[in-house]
Structure 1
């Protein structure tokens, strides 16, 4: 499938009507069924952990989509992520490792990561929900470690619950994301355990005998 058609299909799969439901989205790693992909991913993660720029950039296809604004290939990565002076909440190396480490799904010849990409329930608006990626993640009554525990969530999709238009706040060395529980209560979860359905995702394709990164994008 041509890359642009694939990306359009992926974006369309995330478009849904608003809902206040809470859904389960357990992890999966469909790409692990291919030993060659496992080897490629392990090598990529090792290079990223070592911040080996040359090795990581070689993993990107020359025509890899890096943004929806025209950035592509290794040079697109350099310009959008590695250019001196650029400011981002998460550096390239951390972002790449976090994205690639969270399982995978397979669609045709493309392996996509994280695992929840393409798996969001169609009834849930990806811009109004977040995904809890962890087991027994505590939900607190206030955005602080001293907040009482309202309950815990394991690999759940939950609605955002912004406070006065604010989608996160920082306290006790953590960034806290406000969410709405099925009971209707607002709770707070440390962002270490929260991901956006339209956050960073990566796609991989085997060209000949070599796996390459086909896209590394965020947003819609």
Structure 2
């Protein structure tokens, strides 16, 4: 064998062996700690749509969201239990005088200057405004405290800063399905999720409304279960040793 042929054969054998060695090098497994670091810097992976696990409020859940189930953060505030009891009694009895007694004389009623006890009683008596129904709808939605003030519903002061309140709605109820079409297949539970809707196409009289989750998943939700984040809220604050309603207002 010539020197050139011998050199070529040796080179070929060396490349073959080198290739085998490279293929035989094991890929190191990712440690549990490294995996957890990776997850903390990225969005959480959604669980399967078919089996969202029940979780407490504020935890990430199966379909791509966080539950905003009502809480009562006001119960421990001095004087609040007695105030709430009187509020519930007035609303259930639709007693305008009793509700007015719980309100501040300068209670704010809209962003156009509407205010005061007299205007409150006038609006309560107007059947077209349906304010008693609005008040009743607020009662089971919890209460939040911020800066010494109380807000009902609870979600009003617990919405993330990056949520567009004009197109966002909270799904009220523990067990509400996201459907793949109106009356279609159940994709998973979106109870107490905040979902996005197209406000230009929203029809409160429709049976179902198209909605989008934060991760891009889309579906249909029963319209009756949707509540705008800008819907009516009641704000109260302690004045002269007792709680008073200082605003009952909707919009922004």
Please give the range of the TM-score, normalised by the shorter of the 2 chains.
0.7 to 0.9
- What 5-or-longer segments of structure 1 have no aligned partner? 1-20
Are residues 161 and 127 of structure 1, via their aligned partners in 2, closer, same or farther at CA, if it must alter by over 3 Å?
same
1:132 Cα deviation from its structure 2 partner: 1.4
Higher relative contact order (CA 8 A, sep 6+): 1
Which protein shows a greater Rg? Answer: 2
**Aligned equivalents of 2:77, 2:242: Cα separation in 1:** 13
Which of 176, 191, 197 is the aligned partner of 2:208?
Answer: 176
Structure number having the greater strand percentage: 1
Which of 41, 47, 51 is the aligned partner of 2:90?
Answer: 47
1:134 aligns with 2:169: no
CA RMSD of aligned residues (A): 2.2
Give the corresponding residue for 2:223. 190
Give the corresponding residue for 1:155. 192
**Aligned equivalents of 1:124, 1:216: Cα separation in 2:** 22
1:36 Cα deviation from its structure 2 partner: 1.9
Q: Secondary structure at the match of 1:33?
A: coil
Give the corresponding residue for 2:6. none
Kindly tell me the number of residue pairs found equivalent between the two proteins: 188
TM-score relative to the length of structure 2: 0.67
1:57 aligns with 2:100: yes
Are residues 134 and 35 of structure 1, via their aligned partners in 2, closer, same or farther at CA, if it must alter by over 3 Å?
farther
Are residues 69 and 183 of structure 1, via their aligned partners in 2, closer, same or farther at CA, if it must alter by over 3 Å?
closer
- What 5-or-longer segments of structure 2 have no aligned partner? 1-63
